[in-house]
Structure 1
Amino acid sequence: MPSDTIPARLFVRAKERPEAPAYLVKEGGAWKMTTWRQYASEVKGAAKSLLALGLGASSTVSIIGFNRPEWVILDVAAMAIGGAPAGIYTTSSAEEVQFIVHHAESKVLLVENERQLEKVTKVWGELPLLEHVVVMRGSGTGSDPRVLSWDDFLSRGKDVTDEAFFERLDALEPDGLATLIYTSGTTGPPKGVMLSHRNLSWTADVAKRMTELTPWDCSLSYLPLSHIAEQVFTIHGPITAGSSVYFAESIEKMAENLREVQPTVFFGVPRVWEKLHTGVAGKLGEAKGLRRAIAEQAMQTGRALHEVLNRDEAPSSVVKLKHRLFERLVYAKVKQAVGFGRARVCVSGAAPIGKEVIDFFAGLDLPIREVYGQSEDTGPTSFNLPGRSRFGTVGPAIPGVEVRIAEDGEIQVKGPNVFLGYYKDPKATGETLVDGWLCSGDLGKFDQDGFLHITGRKKDIIITAGGKNITPQNIELSLKEHPLVAEAVVIGDRRRYLTALIVLNAEAAERFAAEQTLSGPLHENAQIRLEVQQRVDEVNAQLGQVETVKRFTIVSRAFGIDTGELTPTLKVKRRSVAENFAREIDAMYAE
């Protein structure tokens, strides 16, 4: 009898609900369904091909590409035969691809298209273990015999028996290596997080219970599948619950696909929610007169309703009556227009989100549940549950996991979701896993009701020239509450005082840049600077003297992945920001 693993669960779904929808892909303007029976057959076929190519227990495959069925099929197939997949961010350079493929010792690499294939061919000479590159459907393979089309790859397994496959599947050990998650890393080269089959199945079970995921739910897959959070929402959770997944056509078409699919479950990183917030707030801000008054009343009612529901209390009859009224007049129309007409679970994670964004969506009857965790504990440490939520926190610890705060304020975690260690890096493993406790590197505190508050990163602590320790994260989040501010980075390590680099939102940045090119009075720029200064003053008023931001600079461009200031999961890389904007920073400290 097979052990309880994610690949084994796939074949259970195929047996229990063979003709139910497992995933959908848009082809020719329509969403085409693949059943659980077909999904399991595809995974079995890919696994047999891996076996034919000489892969098996302890082998690895690497994958680089946007969210596609082939990505997930090969991922599950590699796990099913006792191997481990390793996802690579599509934004990675050829050198970064070479590092991960070589470090993971992958014999097979799956790429999305010719653009990703070019990265590999450029560095193949530095990949002595790589034997085959497989290209997803719809792209050319060139003339290299080592490069296979998806169909050619699947044909390699035609002589491998089903019995040989199921023998491997049944032999999987719960504590055996299931997958490698390479950290995007804000500092240094990425590390391979080793997650076991038990890590994945246990976390999927918890996620299913916390979100009450059912076979009638559906989600939209669009965030990088190389990140553990998207894997939970695209692979492990749906396989465990039997829910269906829609694969977005591209990141550019995500908003359009969101409106078409109207998913019941949606996961977004803060930048996704911030962009949605900007768009919806802009539309609501155009309302005049009676329509504006109705929108404002609806927002007040929505916030009041969810403030009560978060405490698992019953709203008053007046609030319920108002909610029913505004559901027809405001909520339903706005949610349908954005793509949340059926949404019942909305989650934000991977980075801190501003409380004002969560408050805004609560006002539209769209409560966002913030989750906190990391790759090293398979995604979740804490989660704001329905009936046990507190906006501005990351919720209580998830059931079955111990969370404690060390003397220095570090959040430490112990439980069945904690990883096996870093691949081929015992030193880093020993520093992060201490007596069974995962040392997260994050700073936090519990309030009196057991809700976890994130206060910063140990490595992000600023030590001023005067020896004061300052955590910049909360200052930055407060600055970002202003609608003009898209990003803020506080500077001041070994400096006499704190300063900040400000990135404007797209519309304000465009106006600001246009004014910069004109001669004469810069009225628009003066107004933007004044508004940002007012926000800085408001934030400073809530801080101790040593924590106040003395000067700020509005930078000339947004932070980007390609320019090095953001990781693929859109976290700020402070060191790169400091290097790339050194001139602007130095100017703020010039006498």
Structure 2
Amino acid sequence: MGRQGPAPLEGEPFVSPPRRFLETAARRGIAPAYYVREAEGWTATPWNVFRDEVRRAARALVALGVKPGDAVGVIGYNRPEWVIMDIAAMMVGANVAGIYFTASAQDAAYIIAHSECAIVLAEKEEHFRRIASQREELSHLRHVVMMRGADATDPLQMTWDAFMAQGDDRFDAEVERRLQAIQPKDVGCLIYTSGTTGPPKAVQISHDALAKTAALVLKLFEVTGNDRTISYLPLAHIAERILTIHFQITVGNAVYFARDVLSLGEHLPEVRPDFFFGVPRVYEKLASAVQAKLAAAKGPKAKIVQWALGVGQEWHRKEQAGERIGLKTALAMAVASRLFHRKAKRLIGLDRAKHLGVGAAPIPEETLRFMTGLDLPVRELWGLSESAGVGTTNLRGATKIGSVGKPYPGLDLKIDRDGEILIRGPYMFMGYAKDPEATARTFTDGWLRTGDLGHVDLDGYVHITGRKKDIIITSGGKNVAPANLEMELVALPLVEHAIVCGERRPYLGALITLDKAAAERFASERGMADGPALTEAIREKIQEGIHAINARHSRVENIRRFAILPEPLSIENGDLTPTLKVKRQAVMTRLTPVVDSLYRENEKV
């Protein structure tokens, strides 16, 4: 069965992202373009200064020998220099190959070598050391430019100021010539897939796809130049690249650069973004923190809170389904908002938010429903690097919790015989750099094979059921998609991460990590100290939840045994991607003895 989104935007002449940037900068003038968190607060830089920074960086790239079609590497957390380098590279016909700031020395070197970068921008000394340790393998590398505040003590290094000093006015004509020469199908950026298995592939995205994606999403979500966004997810990922760079290029909104991911909770009440995108773990932590505060409410206050949560959930149930909201529900919502919702949203920092999006991994429905109770409808979406982030989305008045929404305008979607989702449209990538075989395997008769399994319901909403490569085949020959089971496990109050295993085994097992805050709350509520009794009580509580999950599934999908891991999963251990997706195979390989223990008789796990 196939589905097609509404017709795409037509009639718009091609304007390359760097040309659009200059037009937007001219229009916005002295309005704030970006903010950086300093010790004394948020410091703004206006659009006219931002424009001058980008043009000088573009001239510096020309001076240092960067040519059209070249790649410039960037490794580091989200900073203005990251964005300046990205736009400047596009402006001179080059493109940026983003490297996750958590990348190992070997992974960083692989991307630099594969993309043949002559220039790499690095945030701090530790990033440079990773690159320097592999310099013998990097024959193309000539300069490592350091972001502001970092020293340059190695001959390979160059400070940010020294780099910008290269960009004198005599290169301006060449920058303008290259800017004029940009064609729609020229490569605008390289996204190296973080890859839960195997080496990353370089996804080539055209200027045209980047421009169309930004224009389309901005129209759907009604973002304006007066809006604020916060940049905190890795810019090497397609979602943040579109949100931070290409949204702003198109509409001229202000971007606030988070100090780091851990500071997000502190930053949100300060920034109060109008548009916010998060991975599931971000919303799960927000929900958990609010639930902990609400649990402390007593007496009449507790009753008001529970009533307001129920009102919020009912109001948004009707809104999401496109149903008429009656006077009684509307009045109740107005009272609930005055008594509870406004305060709760202001406390979190999402009181201005017009759109809240979530993607990159499954999110428990319970989390989404709880957020609607706070009058914070989080709308699930789905996309790929290979489609410039475009795929499906839920929208105001057209949302179904548990789905990832309907196809974007201009995107065709169908389900293959084996359940794999196939898509095609104007947002598709131009192939994997230097890997025509992988590119050919990804397309079938013009359709992009997404690798995701799913179905389209009778109302046209798309539901993701898992990754094709993650299908578990038990020793009895039964096929099980673990994603939905894992999502249900993560929805249990004490669970942070869950991995279902059972490949070539007689039954399913699960590896589980605890939500530290929830476990501490569980112990406090029961007056229990850390020790064997608490461990057993937690295990019994999780087992109770697993029994309920098993009752909703067929016998072959039942989880018979589970192990609670002593430590959380982490990026540093190679368990999680930089966007906090679980690397299933890496975890199970690292913890093979624990997995094996689930299938040994009489062994306590």
Post-superposition offset of 1:436:
1.9
Match of 2:98 among 78, 87, 92: 87
1:394-431 superposed Cα distances (whole Å, 9 cap, x missing partner): 00001111111111100111011111010101111011
1:32 maps to what in 2? 43
For residues 529 and 445 of structure 2, what CA distance do their matches in structure 1 show?
64
Any conservation in 2 of the 1:262–1:339 contact (CA below 8 Å)? yes
1:331 maps to what in 2? 341
Post-superposition offset of 1:178:
0.7
For residues 519 and 321 of structure 1, what CA distance do their matches in structure 2 show?
46
Match of 2:110 among 99, 107, 111: 99
For residues 165-204 of structure 1, the aligned pairs below 5 Å read: 165-204=175-214
**Is 1:584 matched with 2:594?**
yes
Match of 2:542 among 486, 511, 532: 532
For residues 304 and 569 of structure 1, what CA distance do their matches in structure 2 show?
32
**Is 1:221 matched with 2:231?**
yes
Contiguous gaps of at least 5 residues in structure 1:
none
Post-superposition offset of 1:502:
1.0
Any conservation in 2 of the 1:403–1:413 contact (CA below 8 Å)? yes
For residues 513 and 406 of structure 1, what CA distance do their matches in structure 2 show?
48
1:483 maps to what in 2? 493
For residues 568 and 221 of structure 1, what CA distance do their matches in structure 2 show?
14
Which 10-residue stretch deviates more, 439-448 or 11-20? Answer: 11-20
Post-superposition offset of 1:529:
0.9
Post-superposition offset of 1:380:
2.2
Post-superposition offset of 1:14:
1.6
User: CA, structure 1 residues 520+146, in 2 after alignment: closer, same or farther (shift >3 Å)?
Assistant: closer
Post-superposition offset of 1:29:
1.4
Any conservation in 2 of the 1:65–1:112 contact (CA below 8 Å)? yes
For residues 160 and 137 of structure 1, what CA distance do their matches in structure 2 show?
24
1:119 maps to what in 2? 130
Secondary structure of residue in 2 paired with 1:252: helix
Secondary structure of residue in 1 paired with 2:401: coil
For residues 416-495 of structure 1, the aligned pairs below 5 Å read: 416-495=426-505
What amino acid sits opposite 1:282 in the alignment?
A: A
Match of 1:308 among 313, 318, 342: 318
What amino acid sits opposite 1:15 in the alignment?
A: A
For residues 121 and 555 of structure 1, what CA distance do their matches in structure 2 show?
36
**Is 1:56 matched with 2:67?**
yes
For residues 113 and 530 of structure 2, what CA distance do their matches in structure 1 show?
56
For residues 148-297 of structure 1, the aligned pairs below 5 Å read: 148-297=158-307
2:415 maps to what in 1? 405
For residues 49 and 393 of structure 2, what CA distance do their matches in structure 1 show?
34
2:56 maps to what in 1? 45
1:352-372 superposed Cα distances (whole Å, 9 cap, x missing partner): 111111101001000001110
Any conservation in 2 of the 1:65–1:90 contact (CA below 8 Å)? yes
For residues 584 and 327 of structure 2, what CA distance do their matches in structure 1 show?
49
Post-superposition offset of 1:160:
3.1
For residues 41 and 371 of structure 1, what CA distance do their matches in structure 2 show?
36
Secondary structure of residue in 2 paired with 1:403: strand
Any conservation in 1 of the 2:63–2:171 contact (CA below 8 Å)? no
What amino acid sits opposite 1:360 in the alignment?
A: F
Secondary structure of residue in 1 paired with 2:112: helix
Which 10-residue stretch deviates more, 502-511 or 11-20? Answer: 502-511
Any conservation in 2 of the 1:51–1:160 contact (CA below 8 Å)? no
Post-superposition offset of 1:519:
12
Post-superposition offset of 1:22:
1.4
What amino acid sits opposite 1:154 in the alignment?
A: M
User: CA, structure 1 residues 16+507, in 2 after alignment: closer, same or farther (shift >3 Å)?
Assistant: closer
User: CA, structure 1 residues 513+326, in 2 after alignment: closer, same or farther (shift >3 Å)?
Assistant: closer
For residues 583 and 11 of structure 1, what CA distance do their matches in structure 2 show?
57
Any conservation in 2 of the 1:561–1:567 contact (CA below 8 Å)? yes
For residues 84 and 524 of structure 1, what CA distance do their matches in structure 2 show?
54
**Is 1:146 matched with 2:156?**
yes
For residues 338 and 578 of structure 2, what CA distance do their matches in structure 1 show?
39
For residues 267 and 108 of structure 1, what CA distance do their matches in structure 2 show?
31
1:341 maps to what in 2? 351
Post-superposition offset of 1:252:
2.3
User: CA, structure 1 residues 497+124, in 2 after alignment: closer, same or farther (shift >3 Å)?
Assistant: same
Q: Looking at both structures, which has the greater relative contact order when contacts are Cα pairs under 8 Å and sequence separation is at least 6? A: 2
Post-superposition offset of 1:159:
4.7
Any conservation in 1 of the 2:14–2:208 contact (CA below 8 Å)? no
Kindly report structure 1 stretches of 4+ aligned residues shifted beyond 6 Å: 510-514, 518-521
For residues 320 and 375 of structure 2, what CA distance do their matches in structure 1 show?
12
Any conservation in 2 of the 1:3–1:172 contact (CA below 8 Å)? no
2:330 maps to what in 1? 320
Any conservation in 2 of the 1:511–1:524 contact (CA below 8 Å)? no
Post-superposition offset of 1:314:
2.8
For residues 140 and 531 of structure 2, what CA distance do their matches in structure 1 show?
62
Match of 1:366 among 368, 371, 376: 376
What amino acid sits opposite 2:444 in the alignment?
A: V
User: CA, structure 1 residues 104+272, in 2 after alignment: closer, same or farther (shift >3 Å)?
Assistant: same
1:540-581 superposed Cα distances (whole Å, 9 cap, x missing partner): 001111111111111111111111111111111111111122
Any conservation in 1 of the 2:203–2:431 contact (CA below 8 Å)? yes
**Is 1:6 matched with 2:17?**
yes
For residues 292 and 94 of structure 2, what CA distance do their matches in structure 1 show?
49
Any conservation in 2 of the 1:3–1:170 contact (CA below 8 Å)? no
For residues 102 and 402 of structure 2, what CA distance do their matches in structure 1 show?
31
Contiguous gaps of at least 5 residues in structure 2:
1-12
Any conservation in 2 of the 1:513–1:556 contact (CA below 8 Å)? no
Number of corresponding residues: 587
Please give the root-mean-square deviation of Cα atoms over the aligned residues, in Å.
Answer: 1.8
Any conservation in 1 of the 2:227–2:274 contact (CA below 8 Å)? yes
What amino acid sits opposite 1:361 in the alignment?
A: M
For residues 87 and 530 of structure 2, what CA distance do their matches in structure 1 show?
62
2:28 maps to what in 1? 17
Any conservation in 1 of the 2:420–2:468 contact (CA below 8 Å)? yes
Secondary structure of residue in 2 paired with 1:322: helix
1:383 maps to what in 2? 393
Identity %: 45
Match of 1:77 among 81, 88, 94: 88
Any conservation in 2 of the 1:421–1:433 contact (CA below 8 Å)? no
Post-superposition offset of 1:588:
1.1
Any conservation in 2 of the 1:193–1:421 contact (CA below 8 Å)? yes
Any conservation in 2 of the 1:178–1:197 contact (CA below 8 Å)? yes
Match of 2:516 among 488, 503, 506: 506
Post-superposition offset of 1:81:
0.9
